Amino acid sequence: MGKRIHNFSAGPAALPLPVLEEIRDELLDYKGAGMSIMEISHRSKYFDDVINGAVDRTKKLLGMGDDFHVLFIQGGASLQFCMVPMNLALEGRPVDYINTGTWSTKAIKEAQIQGRDVRIIASSEDRDFSYIPRGFQVDGEASYLHFTSNNTIKGTQWPEFPEAGDVPLVCDMSSDFMSRPIDPRPFGLIYAGAQKNIGPSGCAMVIIRRDMLDRIPEGLPTMLKYSTFSEKNSLYNTPSCFVIYVIGLVLKWLEEEIGGLEAMETINREKARILYDLIDGSGFYRGTAEKASRSLMNVTFRLPNEDLEDRFVGEAAKKGLGGLKGHRSVGGCRASIYNATTLESVRALADFMSHFEKTQG
Ligand SMILES: *Cc1c(COP(=O)(O)O)cnc(C)c1O
């Protein structure tokens, strides 16, 4: 086997090595079926067990009861930007959004395209999305309050979720889903593109509270209705079978090898601490997010100039540290340290950063 790198890619992102090994081991003959999971009918008992296992583990990890449905929907997180207002906007009532960066902006645009009464009740655009807004008012008129829990590109994250009273929260959790425990009760809907924290790309996990299903307008196209997915256990049409299978394995790893979301959060905090301590202790690296809003998943930072940043990314790659270039829209550097990125990888990055500062700084 070739050498695997320390992968800090923002997405598609690193998967846990034990999961990749399990996929490899059962790829040619899935549990005695004589074929791979990619070649098995989605109507078979094999796949029933796969999808039900993934759903059950999701609910168990997040502490959710039967008042939530777990769905797998193709089209990534981006399709959810339009499905949310289509399904959950109440007639004659506004939809509220908090704008904390690129992904929130895209979600807002999709609601506006549909002609909704979109209210942006808080935004951090005034300081280049470098912080999480506080002290805003949520008014009970709103159909829902949409926010992005972790801003993958700017490296900010909600330390605690907004309080919205009876207004259901709707959250794009793509880049910190399953990275820490949550209280699911205030959420009407949670969605996450799988390729950051729970699996390969190709589908989003959507968790919808049962009462939200009553809102879905009759006239929507079948494939754009959450009820189509909830009524058929995401098997109305052929789902992303392989993706769902890998998600199931990642969740099993999270539960059995990591020990659940509290244990995961402890590890994630330690990984982030190592990098932020290094950045704060250096006159060379500069974090781009305000300290109180820093992400535990995407550590964004700058070097003194762009030449050094290019050299940093290039030298790191030579040392087997990949994916450190910032998003093309903002430049700089970014280390994405999702669940599957190990403490060992983070320590290797910290060592490299210290060394680079000493030799180039
Ligand atoms: C990556 C990302 C998306 C886009 O996901 P796709 O699956 O590519 O549509 C949306 N929101 C957030 C927060 C992301 O990190």
- In terms of residue numbers, what domain contains 233? 18-258
pLDDT of 160-183, one tens digit each? 999 999 999 999 999 999 999 999
CATH number at residue 115: 3.40.640.10
For residue 3, being part of any structural domain is answered with no
Task: Express each pLDDT in 306-334 by its tens digit.
Answer: 999 999 999 999 999 999 999 998 999 99
What's the pLDDT score for residue 220?
98
How far, in Å, from the CA of 80 to the mean position of ligand 1? 10
| Spacing, Cα 173 to ligand 1 middle (Å) | 9
- Number of domains present in the structure of the chain: 2
My answer on whether 48 and 156 are in the same domain is yes
H/E stretch holding 52 reads: helix 45-62
Are residues 44 and 148 both part of a single domain?
yes
Instruction: With respect to residue 10, please indicate whether it lies within any of the assigned structural domains.
Output: no
Task: Decide if 5 is inside a domain.
Answer: no
Nearest to 242 by CA among 70, 19, 4, 13: 19
pLDDT surpassing 90 at residue 361: no
Active site residue 103: yes
CA of 158 to the centre of ligand 1 (A): 16
Strands (E), 131-196: 145-148, 150-151, 156-157, 169-172, 187-193
Q: Ligand 1 mean position to 282 CA, how many Å?
A: 31
Same domain, yes or no: 264 and 248: no
Whole-number Å distance between alpha carbons of 340 and 317: 19
* Strand (E) or helix (H) holding 221: none
Whether residues 137 and 214 share a domain: the answer is: yes
Residues 146 and 25 reside in one and the same domain: yes
Domain co-membership, 66 together with 76:
yes
Task: Verify whether ligand 1 is closer than 6 Å to residue 354 (CB atom).
Answer: no
Q: Is the CB of 334 under 6 A from ligand 1?
A: no
Kindly state if the Cβ of 193 falls inside 6 Å of ligand 1.
yes
* C-beta atoms surrounding 114 within 10 Å: 12
Annotated catalytic residue: which of 96, 103, 154, 225? 103
Would 134 be classed as within a structural domain?
yes
Distance CA 323, CA 165 (A): 40
37 & 115 share domain? yes
Question: Does the Cβ of 149 fall within 6 Å of ligand 1?
Answer: no
- % residues pLDDT > 70 (the chain): 100
pLDDT at 349 over 80: yes
Q: Are 25 and 210 in contact (CB under 8 A)?
A: no
DSSP 97-138: EEE-SHHHHHHHHHHHHTT--EEEEEE-GGGTT-S---S---
Spatial CB neighbours of 2, under 8 Å, sequence gap ≥ 6? none
Task: Assess whether the C-beta atom of 76 lies below 6 angstroms from ligand 1.
Answer: yes
The DSSP output letter for 325 is B
* Domain-located, residue 293: yes
Residue 237 has what pLDDT? Answer: 98
pTM score of the predicted model: 0.98
Any ligand 1 atom below 6 A from CB of 196: yes
How does pLDDT run across 21-54, given as a tens digit for each residue?
Answer: 999 999 999 999 999 999 999 999 999 999 999 9
Average pLDDT, the chain: 97
Active site residue 232: no
pLDDT tens column, 12-22: 999 999 999 99
pLDDT value at 77 more than 70 = yes
Q: Where does the pLDDT of residue 198 fall: very low under 50, low under 70, confident under 90, or very high at 90 and above?
A: very high
Statement to judge: residues 287 and 147 lie in one domain: no
Residues 319 and 332 placed together within one structural domain of the fold: yes
Question: Residue 302 and residue 308: Cα distance in Å, rounded?
Answer: 9
Residue 1: pLDDT above 90?
no
Beta bridge partners of 119: 96
Q: Which residues contact 265 (CB under 8 A, 6 or more apart)?
A: 179, 180, 181
State which of 258, 282, 312 marks the end of a domain: 258
Residue 158 catalytic?
no
The CATH number linked to 286 is 3.90.1150.10
pLDDT of 2 strictly over 80: no
* Residue 243 and residue 123 share a domain: yes
pLDDT per position as a tens digit, 224-282? 999 999 999 999 999 999 999 999 999 999 999 999 999 999 999 999 999 999 999 99
Domain C-terminal end among 258, 281, 305: 258
> Both 46 and 187 in a single domain?
yes
Contact 130, 288 (CB under 8 A): yes
Rounded distance between C-alpha atoms, residue 28 and residue 38, angstroms: 10
Identify whether the C-beta of residue 239 lies closer than 8 Å to the C-beta of residue 257.
no
